[in-house]
């Protein structure tokens, strides 16, 4: 059953310690339609689209035009679901640039925007101009040189915890924690006033997010912190192979 109304940023913030938040990425209209029908309360149109749908080897190649295209597609499929749009790499480098970029994503259909790293002044500027923001710390794919877990030593854990506090203090209504030790995810969740949504950050976060391609089992390799609920990649291969066989033997 689809949600009866779209959740606001304030409603999502109020779910802290009250009801776990389930979030999935979406990039296309048919997927968004199915996720809204399933009652997924919030969809992230992530710049992961560059790697899982467009074949790029980095999220850095994703542009605002790419994001606007996919946000529009997801909005048409999920008109009653809160949609978060990712600000692509270097489109949030300063407050005014970020505001311009965020307005483009909101015009395309996003309800809020997400940005990576300790950009406290940017978050404050967005909020002052009526745009709700989601923070992201831990592993930040736009700036990492690898995808290994971060926050494993005391110094790095302290840095991430400080960033989480700063992002919450700047006015973000939610925080994504990516690929950090479970105990660090739990500690940050306990110590900040906004909901945390983990992706490889342990079960004690206020919610969890998965990349839809990982959830559906597209491809043959997935991040170690993901979980597969289906294996549609193999289903597609099998179906296409059956089609080719039937065309070749003239039974179709």
Residues with active-site annotation: 178
Strand 112-114, strand 82-86: pairing? parallel
Cβ of 41: how many Cβ atoms within 10 Å? Answer: 20
Tokens for 166, please give them: 């700063």
Beta strands in the chain (DSSP E): 21-25, 42-45, 82-86, 112-114, 133-138, 174-178, 196-199, 207-210
CA distances from 241 to 186, 216, 221, 238 (A): 46, 20, 21, 5
> Which one, of 30, 41, 122, lies nearest residue 83 by Cα?
41
Distances (CA, A) of 124 to 47, 93, 115, 156, 197: 22, 14, 12, 25, 21
Closest listed residue to residue 225, CA positions, set 149, 116, 128: 149
141 and 147 in contact (C-beta within 8 Å)? yes
């Amino acid at each position: 059953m689809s949600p009866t109304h779209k959740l606001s940023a304030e409603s999502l913030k109020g779910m802290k310690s009250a009801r776990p938040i389930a979030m999935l990425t979406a990039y296309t209209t048919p997927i968004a339609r199915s996720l809204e029908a399933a009652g997924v309360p919030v969809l992230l149109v992530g710049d992961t689209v560059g790697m899982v749908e467009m074949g790029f080897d980095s999220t850095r190649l994703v542009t605002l035009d790419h994001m606007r295209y996919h946000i529009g597609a997801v909005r048409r499929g999920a008109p009653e679901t809160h949609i978060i749009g990712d600000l692509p790499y270097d489109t949030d480098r300063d407050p005014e640039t970020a505001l311009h970029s965020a307005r483009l994503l909101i015009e395309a259909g996003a309800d809020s925007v997400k940005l990576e790293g300790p950009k406290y002044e940017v978050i404050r500027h967005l909020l002052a101009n009526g745009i709700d923001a989601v923070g992201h710390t831990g592993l930040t794919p736009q700036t990492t040189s690898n995808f290994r877990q971060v926050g494993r030593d005391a110094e790095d854990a302290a840095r991430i915890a400080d960033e989480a506090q700063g992002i919450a203090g700047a006015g973000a209504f939610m925080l994504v924690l990516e690929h950090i030790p479970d105990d660090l995810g739990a500690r940050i969740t306990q110590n900040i006033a906004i909901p945390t949504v983990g992706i490889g950050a342990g079960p004690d976060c206020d919610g969890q997010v998965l990349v839809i391609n990982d959830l559906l089992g597209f491809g043959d390799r997935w991040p170690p912190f993901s979980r597969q609920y289906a294996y549609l990649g193999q289903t597609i291969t099998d179906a296409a192979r059956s089609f080719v066989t039937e065309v070749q033997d003239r039974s179709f």
